[in-house]
Structures are given as structure tokens and as C-alpha cells.
């Protein structure tokens, strides 16, 4: 018969592991602060292939009937050593944006304080009518939503043509940071998108919220992309310059880009395994 202390350790380990066992996905009406690599596929809500988007130089595409969103029709482009990149930060270093020139596309890695619930990055000098990509987490999955701000101050509505490809994001991908990592083409063919020219300084904006997450509708196609945002608590402007030596040096010194985050559950699972190993070590000591 094992001593009561050993039995207690066995019970504790079993409870911790069972509590962290993945289950069925929750309905798309809740959110969290963590996140993982994106799960939004390049397919429509009916399981078929995504509608074909316009060419880089073609006209904007009219969405299919029923409000179906047109999803990105390109796959991740691997960033290679030697590709031009620059990193620009706010004056207090609380927000940074690293952009890598992939040729016809760009890789964007935005960082905000860890308490952020969502993070938006846009092109322009102000929010009105800006082209914006908002990153947030739905059911522990990181999502980016391509948006086009109105002329007023209302939350930016979803762009019918989604041109941002989520790579990963959420809390603690980088220590003490909330990250939004995505790629998009420089020329999307969408009249709602800004053509990105890295040969000249690029005006960028950012905004994030620190207390309230997003609300995802229960109806409509691709509801995870149509989340309602609470007005930002923080915002600012940055100027990215791919020729600025300070920004180039900052990008080289940055932590390597990652697309996998730790929403918190994985660290608990790791702790559970540590407890199990400890249990066996104690058990062996009684042998």
C-alpha cells in the first residue's frame, strides 16, 4: 500500500492533466487573452475553396452573394536572411512594428503591451478611411481581420476582401508583449487597401485596447473576422523607413520572429508533467 502522501500526489497530477486536455472548440462567441497559430483556413464557410481574389493590378472584387468574405488566396512566404527589414517603435518603446520586405509582399510583426486585448495596425496618418489590420484571439486561436475605417470615428468595418494572412499572435509570444503577426501583398488589387511602397518612408498608425476583448457574432459567414471592437485605449503614429540605419539595426537585434504563442495553458501542462516526473522520483525513493 502506497503512503497517503504518494496517493495525494497521484491524484493532483491526474487532475491537472485532465483539466488541460484539449476538448471541443467553444462556439465563436467568446474570446480570451492568449492565442495560437491561426486556424482560419483559406476556404469559405461552406467548406469550399475560397473565392478567387483579384490580381495585384486588377480591380477590386465584388463579394459573392450572401455577404461571403473573400479570403486571402496566397500562402505564407518564408522570410530569409538578408531580406530588408526595419523596426520602428513609439517613443516609450511600448509599441513596435517590424516590417520585412518579402518582394511582392510584406511581413508585419507588431508588438504592444501584454495587457492588450486586440492590436490594430494601419497605413496612413490617422484612423479616418485608413486601411487597418486588427489582430485578436477567438477561442484561443489568433485571427487577423482586414478592415477599412470610415470617415468618422466609428469602429472600422470589415473589408469584404480579406488580404491579411494571419501567422500567429497573442500574449507572451515575446516576453511581456502582445503580438500581431501577419503578411499581406504590397498591391492587393482591393480599392480599400493601401498600396505599400517601401522605397519611401511609410506612415503607420496603431491602436489597442487593454481592458475589453472583442465580441464575435453568432451568425454570418466567417464570424471570427467580423468581431466587434471596443474603442481603443491607446493609439499612436509611427513612420517606418526601410533606409533608416537605426531602424535597420533595431530589426536585426530583435527577437527572431515566431508564429507560436503560449496562451498560458501550455505552461500549466508543462507544470503537470514536471509534477508527474517528481512523483515517480519520490516513488522510486520508497522502493
178-205 tens-digit pLDDT: 999 999 999 999 999 999 999 999 999 9
Backbone angles phi, psi at 143, to 5 degrees: -135, 145
pLDDT at 45: 35
Separation between Cα atoms, residue 119 and residue 141, nearest integer Å: 15
pLDDT at 18: 41
Question: What is the CATH number assigned to the segment(s) 33-262?
Answer: 2.60.40.1210
Query: Hunting for cell 482586414 — which residue is that?
Result: 146
> Which parts of the chain register pLDDT below 70?
1-66, 255-287
Torsion of CA 237, 167, 160, 137, to 10 degrees: -80
Residue 206 contacts residue 236 (beta carbons within 8 Å): yes
233: left (phi > 0), else alpha (psi -120 to 50), else beta? Answer: alpha
Residue 180 contacts residue 45 (beta carbons within 8 Å): no
pTM, to two decimals: 0.70
Which tens digits make up the pLDDT trace of 64-105?
333 789 999 999 999 999 999 999 999 999 999 999 999 999
User: How far from each other are the two terminal CA atoms of the chain, in whole angstroms?
Assistant: 12
pLDDT at 150: 85
Amino acid at each position: 500500500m502506497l503512503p497517503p502522501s504518494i496517493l495525494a500526489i497521484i491524484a493532483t497530477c491526474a487532475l491537472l492533466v485532465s483539466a488541460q486536455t484539449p476538448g471541443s472548440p467553444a462556439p465563436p462567441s467568446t474570446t480570451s487573452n492568449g492565442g495560437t497559430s491561426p486556424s482560419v483556413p483559406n476556404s469559405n464557410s461552406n467548406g469550399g475553396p475560397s473565392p478567387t481574389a483579384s490580381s495585384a493590378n486588377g480591380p477590386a472584387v465584388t463579394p459573392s452573394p450572401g455577404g461571403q468574405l473573400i479570403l486571402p488566396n496566397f500562402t505564407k512566404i518564408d522570410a530569409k536572411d538578408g531580406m530588408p527589414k526595419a523596426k520602428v517603435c513609439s517613443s516609450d518603446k511600448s509599441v513596435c512594428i517590424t516590417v520585412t520586405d518579402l518582394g511582392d509582399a510584406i511581413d508585419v510583426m507588431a508588438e504592444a503591451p501584454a495587457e492588450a486585448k486586440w492590436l490594430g495596425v494601419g497605413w496612413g496618418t490617422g484612423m479616418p478611411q485608413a486601411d487597418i489590420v486588427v489582430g485578436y484571439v477567438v477561442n484561443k486561436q489568433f485571427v487577423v481581420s482586414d478592415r477599412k475605417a470610415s470617415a468618422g470615428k466609428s469602429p472600422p468595418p470589415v473589408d469584404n476582401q480579406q488580404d491579411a494572412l494571419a501567422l500567429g499572435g497573442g500574449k507572451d509570444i515575446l516576453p511581456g508583449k502582445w503580438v500581431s503577426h501577419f503578411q499581406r501583398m504590397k498591391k492587393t488589387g482591393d480599392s480599400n487597401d493601401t498600396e505599400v511602397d517601401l522605397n519611401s518612408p511609410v506612415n503607420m498608425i496603431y491602436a489597442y485596447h487593454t481592458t475589453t476583448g472583442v465580441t464575435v457574432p453568432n451568425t454570418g459567414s466567417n464570424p471570427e473576422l467580423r468581431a466587434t471592437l471596443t474603442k481603443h485605449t491607446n493609439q499612436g503614429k509611427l513612420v517606418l523607413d526601410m533606409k533608416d540605419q537605426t531602424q535597420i539595426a533595431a530589426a536585426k537585434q530583435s527577437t527572431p520572429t515566431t508564429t507560436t504563442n503560449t496562451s498560458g495553458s501550455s505552461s500549466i501542462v508543462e507544470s503537470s508533467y514536471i509534477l508527474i516526473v517528481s512523483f515517480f522520483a519520490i516513488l522510486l525513493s520508497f522502493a
